[in-house]
Amino acid sequence: MFARKSISPQGRHVLITGASSGLGRAAALTLADRGFGVFAAVRNIDDGKKLAADCPSSRIEPVKIDVTDDRSIDEASAFIAGAVGERGLWGLVNNAGICVSAPLECVSSRLFRQQLEINLVGQLAVTQAFLPALRRARGARIVNVTSGLGTVAIPYLGAYSAAQFAKESLSDALRRELEPMGVKVSVVSPGAIWTPIWGKVSEEGERALAAAPDHIADLYRSTFLNFLKGNEAGARASKTMPADVANAIHTALTVARPRTRYRVGADVRRGFLLTWLLPDTVIDGMFRQIVTPAPTPKGGTHNVRKEA
């Protein structure tokens, strides 16, 4: 799917955030297997040790980073700068993130701020801290992992889409600002993939609904819970694998002229094409079924109240 590599990973180091599970873990193992030295950023260092133990090449070194904690970012930056020295840091993969799924009317300010803080503000904080080491590498790469939902916003994932749309624009601005300094910026945009994040999405979504006032939550309950089930089923059925994303990240780090965007998965490529070709009103109609309650069965009524 992607161009073959032309830059050797030997002697080069990459930092990956959110490496404890899912896409970050797959990318860390793939990059280490292909010759990169990998700094795997995790919030819990024990998770990083488990990841390092699973790496046959022993090229993974865990570092503790919480992207919402400036102190942890600064400490990791100082450690990695000392480890790579004048060679600099070849790559930064901004992968850490969470997914808030709930009707926007049910998303608290606290939850929305958390979504933006982790998926957007924290990404910029990490980038700022590591740019000096990246500039020293001459030709270094930043790879921002976003989502197909950074192109099209669907009902009940508005908070997540807001963060991903913003991360896409942040990537564009960074690419244009850093190009004169020799730092290249690419976006890897995956579609639906089954990873451990999906169990958390459903749990947090149900929790957000439960925290909303009854008269608000009842407006969305049946359609939103159906959406959560369908969304999880779609991720489980997806043919796109974490390895596909890891391969795209590897390509962005190793080709001489990386693309600005790598869309991974038929669904994300289709979504981009549809948003480019179709007017908003047509796309709205495509999503109408998600938010339309099922018809009431004859002789009965839907019970949409919370269970006691």
Structural domains of the chain, ranges and CATH numbers in brackets: 13-291 (3.40.50.720)
Q: What is the pLDDT of residue 268?
A: 85
- φ/ψ of 245, rounded to 5, equals -70, -40
Q: What is the pLDDT of residue 305?
A: 39
Query: Which sign, positive or negative, has the C-alpha torsion 191, 194, 196, 201?
Result: positive
Question: The tokens of 305 are what?
Answer: 């109240």
Residue 156 annotated to the active site:
no
Choice among 156, 160, 220, 262 that is catalytic = 160
CA distance 40 to 57: 14
CA distance 219 to 205: 15
Q: Which mean pLDDT values do the consecutive 10-residue runs of the chain (308 residues) have?
A: 71 97 96 98 96 95 97 98 97 96 96 97 98 96 94 94 97 98 96 76 90 95 93 81 95 97 89 88 92 70 40
Q: Is 176:163 a contact under the CB 8 Å cutoff?
A: no
